[in-house]
Amino acid sequence: SYITVCKEESLKRAQSVQDKIDRDGPVSPLAGIPMALKDNICTMGIKTTCASKMLENFVPPYDATVVKKLYNSDAILLGKLNMDEFAMGGSTENSFFKQTKNPWDLERVPGGSSGGAAASVAAHESIFSLGSDTGGSIRQPASFCGTVGLKPTYGAVSRFGLVAFASSLDQIGPLTKDITDCALVLNAICGYDSMDSTSVKTDYPDYTKALVNDVKGMKIGIPRDYLGEGLNPDVKRAVLDAAETFRRLGAEVEEFPLPITEYAIPAYYLIACAEASSNLARYDGIKYGYRAEKFTDLLDLYRQTRSEGFGNEVKRRIMLGTYALSSGYYDAYYKKALQVKTLIKKGFDEAFEKYDMVIGPTSPTTAFKIGEKAENPLEMYLVDIYTVSVNIAGLPGLVVPCGKDANGLPIGLQMIGKPFSESTLLRAGYTFE
Ligand code: GLN
């Protein structure tokens, strides 16, 4: 799961936290708890590679806000976790360094792009981890590895120090062993931060207050378009069983149409690639990161550096994004995608006039075999069908294990809420503990 293990730093910090506890008693519920971070979250003095050759030796001069907050809570950083290069992918196969395996079946992927973050928690190599989610990268690996995973509301957790992929979609969130841990970690990392211009100033509740076993009277909707063609029957059964459980506990559950789902993938890949092509322009071999050794002039330096430093998937997205934003194509692609974004938001707004929460599958299948989709980018993109709309609409999405398929592989239920309704999702998720 790990790209970097911080043995020395971890032991030092653990000792100083122990001294503090001996002196003052435990002050935070996270005091002394071993954690790990996806390797696109900046850690001062510790390599942050984004699983890319481009940042193979990059050592950030500052900590991300979430890292500062977790250090202030006295959590102990064990190391930095493997991922798809620059968080682009759904299997962690796009890492420059290594393949992380699914702890439930070593021939299968852990999901992605936060594959290391999910695998480390599932394999007990960390107690909790932080991942990032641009189109499903916390929720899908959580589902594949049988952990809890939360993508918070856009603006609820500071992204200062998160290496940017697609800034209108990126969020940091926890991957944990259960819902209680998820609430504890969310308490520690959420909140307004003046260093992130998209951070939202609002009252953030104590999320542990949501840990009550009560969904009586809750109104729950299931998008009919999330249960159609392409959904593995075991996953479908597990989701419908979960719906039945909610019903038995006193919730009202019904299906509703969300036909815009059909356009979510094309809209997401246009927006995400467009923003990525702009965000990744900073890796030019000049300011920081990898620089090609042989070049003739400045343009050639850029070209060689980017040709050698980026992997195929990253290059593909830069090209797709640059194309979608170019004059003459902008209206046909990027503008259309933004129109779809408005319709997706509207679809969810309407749903939340009727429902407290929307539930559905996280991914059409359980963990697939390593190599199965690696040569077919389009097939890899299609597995994001149930997750990307949540980022496009800026909503919170919580995944909780809800069963196993015929091979014994975990299945995750996805719960989607209105902005800043994390407490509702945690309360519903808590019924599964
Ligand atoms: N699988 C999606 C992609 O490749 C989501 C990635 C993410 O959330 N970082 O873009």
Q: Would you say the CB of residue 384 lies under 6 angstroms from ligand 1?
A: yes
Q: Which of helix, strand or coil describes residue 125?
A: coil
User: How close is the Cα of 135 to the center of ligand 1, in Å?
Assistant: 5
Asked whether residue 23 carries a pLDDT value surpassing 90, the answer given is: yes
Please write the tens of the pLDDT for every residue from 72-123: 999 999 999 999 999 999 999 999 999 999 999 999 999 999 999 999 999 9
Q: Residue 184 corresponds to which amino acid?
A: L
What are the two backbone dihedrals, phi and then psi, of residue 417, each rounded to the nearest 5 degrees?
A: -125, 175
HSE-up of residue 246 (Cα within 13 Å, Cβ side): 30
What are 251-254's contacts with CB under 8 Å, separation 24+?
A: 251/215, 251/216, 251/217, 251/218, 251/219, 251/220, 252/217, 252/218, 252/219, 252/220, 253/220, 253/221, 253/222, 253/359, 254/220, 254/221, 254/222
Q: Can you spell out the DSSP letters for 373-417?
A: TTT-HHHHHHTTTTTHHHHHTT--EEEEEEEE-TTS-EEEEEEE-
Closest ligand 1 atom to residue 89 Cα is 4
End-to-end alpha-carbon separation of the chain, Å? Answer: 26
Mutate to test the pocket of ligand 1, among 82, 384, 386 (most ligand atoms within 8 A of CB): 384
Residue 6 CA to residue 19 CA, distance in Å, equals: 20
Task: With CA atoms as reference, report the closest residue to 137 among 170, 112, 161, 156.
Answer: 112
Residue 69 CA to residue 46 CA, distance in Å, equals: 17
The enclosing H or E element of 313 equals: helix 312-325
Q: Which of helix, strand or coil describes residue 346?
A: helix
CB 127 within 8 A of CB 6: no
Known active-site residue 113: yes
pLDDT of residue 26: 80
Supply 197's token pair.
Answer: 């211009």
Q: Would you say the CB of residue 397 lies under 6 angstroms from ligand 1?
A: no
Task: With CA atoms as reference, report the closest residue to 223 among 348, 86, 393, 320.
Answer: 348
Supply 100's token pair.
Answer: 């992380």
Instruction: Name the pLDDT band for 433 (thresholds 50, 70, 90).
Output: confident
CB 145 within 8 A of CB 102: yes
CB 397 within 8 A of CB 150: yes
In 282-409, DSSP assigns E strands to 357-361, 397-404
Please write the tens of the pLDDT for every residue from 49-68: 999 999 999 999 999 999 99
Q: Would you say the CB of residue 88 lies under 6 angstroms from ligand 1?
A: yes
CA-nearest residue for atom 4, ligand 1, is: 89
Query: Which of 24-28, 189-193, 270-274 has the least mean pLDDT?
Result: 24-28
Q: Would you say the CB of residue 136 lies under 6 angstroms from ligand 1?
A: yes
Residue 43 CA to residue 318 CA, distance in Å, equals: 26
CB 265 within 8 A of CB 385: yes
Cα 26 to its chain centre, rounded Å, is 30
Task: Report H helices in 155-280.
Answer: 179-189, 233-248, 264-279
User: How close is the Cα of 131 to the center of ligand 1, in Å?
Assistant: 12
pTM of this prediction?
0.98
Q: Please report where in the chains the tokens 């090209």 appear, as a residue.
A: 319
pLDDT of residue 40: 98
Q: Would you say the CB of residue 138 lies under 6 angstroms from ligand 1?
A: no
Kindly report the CA angle at 335 between 330 and 341, in degrees rounded to 5?
Answer: 150
Q: Give the whole-number percent of the chain exceeding pLDDT 90.
A: 98
Q: What is the mean pLDDT of residues 302-306?
A: 98
Q: Would you say the CB of residue 40 lies under 6 angstroms from ligand 1?
A: no
Instruction: Name the pLDDT band for 31 (thresholds 50, 70, 90).
Output: very high
Known active-site residue 95: no
Kindly report the CA angle at 151 between 376 and 360, in degrees rounded to 5?
Answer: 70
Asked whether residue 432 carries a pLDDT value surpassing 90, the answer given is: no
Closest ligand 1 atom to residue 137 Cα is 8
CA-nearest residue for atom 10, ligand 1, is: 88
pLDDT of residue 27: 85
What value does the mean pLDDT of the chain take?
97
